[in-house]
Amino acid sequence: MSNNSNNVASSSSADGFSSFTPYEPVSGEEYMSRPMREHFRGLLLAWRKELMEEVDRTVHHMQDEAANFPDPNDRATQESEFTMELRTRDRERKLIKKINEALDLLDDQEYGYCESCGVEIGIRRLEARPTATLCIDCKTLDEIREKQRG
């Protein structure tokens, strides 16, 4: 069990979400046990913290770099860079919303189960995509339907 608590600590360390220790379930451990939920809570919180820090850096960067260039090409370049940065932050804002929803599911003890069919999503899939709400089979079907529509 001490191995599992190390996973939580390393996933919420200063290194953040990008470097974490994969969860190793104890033999016979129940799916989404308390240590497992805490592992994913640590992952989600670290990821959200990284994203929020990036938002802060963007705001400061845009305030520091905002200049009224006399050259129209320089202004256009700066506008283009700011637009791309804001688009990225908007995607991250949506991701933060998904992270918060996943944390709510953890609180309700519904995290880790497919919202479509109810089966276990799986530890490795959740570590790859902690905000996943569909098992791999339902996600595959969803993508096939999406391709057929579009």
- DSSP letters spanning 36-65: HHHHHHHHHHHHHHHHHHHHHHHHHHHHHH
**CB contact at 8 A, 135 and 117:** yes
Integer Cα distance of 52 and 133 in angstroms:
22
- The per-residue pLDDT for 112 is 98
Model pLDDT, residue 81: 87
Please, which residues have CB within 8 angstroms of residue 24's CB and are 6 or more apart in sequence?
Answer: 3, 4, 7
Q: What confidence category does residue 1 fall into, taking pLDDT thresholds of 50, 70 and 90?
A: very low
Q: What is the pLDDT of residue 18?
A: 66
d(CA 34, CA 39): 9
Least confident stretch, 47-61, 62-76, 89-103, 135-149: 62-76
pLDDT in tens, 80-117: 988 998 898 899 999 999 999 999 999 999 999 999 99
DSSP letter (8 states) at residue 139:
H
What's the distance, Cα to Cα, between the start and end of the chain in Å?
48
Predicted confidence (pLDDT) at residue 43 exceeds the cutoff of 50: yes
Residue 119 has pLDDT above 60, yes or no: yes
- Nearest-angstrom CA–CA distance, 95 and 110: 19
Please give the single-letter amino acid code of residue 86: L
The confidence score (pLDDT) of residue 4 equals 44
